[in-house]
């Protein structure tokens, strides 16, 4: 690697764009050149050359004639850029130190950052559910108490949209419901039309309220509703967890 290539590589690592780095190196090699010299003799376009020129001036890497500013370009030393990087480094270190202090003294409740797990609440629960209808799967597996679940949150409109999207993709469904009633029959009466097989099995299982698993991928969507009627959900993308729930649902439906 020659010295110019090495310089360009360092400028890129310092945050300059490829165009800005090329402009600076050209000006360094051709002191007193004009902006037109640069875009005519290099591969830079006229507009990108002017943008690079303004940026390099702001970074204090370039100066020019105060009267004929398009000509007689003079590259400056890297001292200004180095100072800016050092100041940025100090600022970032202070932020890092403050975040470490905050992290050790205050418990912050946020969505899990564990890979493959996403926690949701409110409207985002329903939007994610509808998004899952477009996911790659062969058949939907369901377990839960639709009677009480739908009564609390009026989920039938959302479920109808999900069914419509699922069927449009040519996918079926197997459901194991733990309670009967009008809300349940409103859905299960159309099992044949909805390409769904439903088993009713009384169960003392209470939480989570509702489980969706999928044949054909490793997604599991677990729903719950708190005492105030607020809906929460956890989306898990894990083969081992998915297999656990698939076995669980199949054991209930067989």
Segment 186-212 shows an average pLDDT of 81
Question: Does residue 24 lie within any of the structural domains?
Answer: yes
Q: Which domain holds residue 173?
A: 117-253
For residue 45, pLDDT beyond 70: yes
Q: What is the pLDDT of residues 64-97, one digit of tens each?
A: 876 677 778 888 888 888 888 888 888 888 888 8
**Residues 133, 225: one domain?**
yes
**Banded pLDDT at 114 (limits 50, 70, 90):** very low
Segment 172-185 shows an average pLDDT of 87
**Residues 134, 57: one domain?**
no
**Residues 125, 199: one domain?**
yes
- Three-state secondary structure call for residue 92: helix
**Residues 121, 77: one domain?**
no
Segment 26-49 shows an average pLDDT of 85
Beta bridge partners of 220: 213, 236
Question: Does residue 88 lie within any of the structural domains?
Answer: no
Q: What is the pLDDT of residues 116-154, one digit of tens each?
A: 888 888 888 888 999 999 888 999 999 988 877 776 657
- The number of domains in the chain is 2
Question: Does residue 238 lie within any of the structural domains?
Answer: yes
Question: Does residue 29 lie within any of the structural domains?
Answer: yes
Question: Does residue 209 lie within any of the structural domains?
Answer: yes
**Residues 24, 70: one domain?**
yes
Range 37-43 contact pairs with CB under 8 angstroms and sequence separation of 24 or more: 38/73
For residue 213, pLDDT beyond 90: yes
Mean pLDDT across the chain:
83
Question: Does residue 57 lie within any of the structural domains?
Answer: yes
Q: What is the pLDDT of residues 6-33, one digit of tens each?
A: 888 889 988 888 888 899 999 888 888 8
Question: Does residue 27 lie within any of the structural domains?
Answer: yes
Q: What is the dihedral of CA 13, 17, 21, 22, to 10 degrees?
A: 140
Range 71-79 contact pairs with CB under 8 angstroms and sequence separation of 24 or more: 71/32, 71/33, 71/34, 71/35, 72/32, 72/34, 73/27, 73/31, 73/32, 73/33, 73/34, 73/35, 73/38, 74/27, 74/31, 74/32, 75/24, 75/27, 75/28, 75/31
Segment 192-203 shows an average pLDDT of 86
**Residues 162, 206: one domain?**
yes
Question: Does residue 23 lie within any of the structural domains?
Answer: yes
Show which of 64, 81, 98 is a domain's final residue: 81
**Residues 152, 215: one domain?**
yes
**Residues 76, 123: one domain?**
no
**Residues 232, 177: one domain?**
yes
For residue 206, pLDDT beyond 70: no
pTM comes to: 0.53
Q: What is the structure's pLDDT at 208? A: 60
Segment 183-193 shows an average pLDDT of 87
Specify whether the CB–CB gap between 147 and 183 falls below 8 A: yes
Q: What is the pLDDT of residues 96-113, one digit of tens each?
A: 888 777 766 655 544 544
Q: How many helices (H) and strands (E) does the chain have?
A: 10, 9
Q: Return the structure tokens found at 30.
A: 């051709």
Q: What is the structure's pLDDT at 113? A: 47
**Residues 135, 50: one domain?**
no
Q: What is the structure's pLDDT at 1? A: 57
CA distances from 160 to 157, 179, 187 (A): 5, 20, 9
**Residues 122, 184: one domain?**
yes
Segment 36-50 shows an average pLDDT of 84
Show which of 81, 97, 130 is a domain's final residue: 81
Q: Which residue has the higher pLDDT, 228 or 90?
A: 90
CATH of the domain at 61: 1.10.10.10
**Residues 177, 230: one domain?**
yes
CATH of the domain at 241: 3.30.870.10
Q: What is the structure's pLDDT at 236? A: 92
Show which of 34, 59, 81 is a domain's final residue: 81
């Amino acid at each position: 690697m020659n010295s110019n290539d090495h310089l360009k590589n360092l400028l890129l690592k310092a945050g300059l764009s490829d165009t800005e780095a090329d402009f600076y190196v050209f000006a360094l090699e051709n002191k007193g050149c004009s902006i037109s010299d640069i875009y005519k003799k290099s591969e830079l376009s006229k507009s990108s050359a002017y943008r690079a020129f303004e940026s390099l001036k702001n970074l204090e890497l370039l100066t020019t004639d105060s009267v004929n500013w398009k000509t007689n370009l003079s590259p400056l030393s890297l001292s200004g850029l180095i100072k800016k990087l050092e100041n940025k480094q100090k600022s970032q270190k202070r932020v890092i130190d403050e975040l470490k202090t905050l992290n050790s003294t205050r418990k912050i409740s946020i969505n899990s950052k564990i890979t493959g797990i996403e926690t949701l609440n409110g409207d985002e629960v329903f939007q994610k559910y509808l998004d899952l209808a477009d996911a790659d799967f062969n058949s939907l597996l369901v377990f839960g108490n639709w009677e009480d679940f739908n009564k609390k949150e009026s989920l039938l409109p959302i479920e109808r949209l999900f069914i419509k999207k699922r069927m449009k993709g040519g996918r079926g469904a197997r459901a194991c419901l733990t309670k009967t009633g009008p809300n349940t029959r409103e859905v299960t009466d159309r099992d044949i039309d909805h390409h769904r097989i439903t088993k009713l099995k009384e169960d003392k299982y209470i939480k989570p309220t509702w489980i969706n698993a999928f044949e054909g991928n490793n997604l599991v969507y677990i729903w719950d509703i708190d005492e105030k009627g607020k809906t929460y959900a956890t989306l898990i993308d894990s083969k081992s967890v998915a297999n656990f729930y698939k076995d669980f649902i199949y054991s209930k439906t067989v």
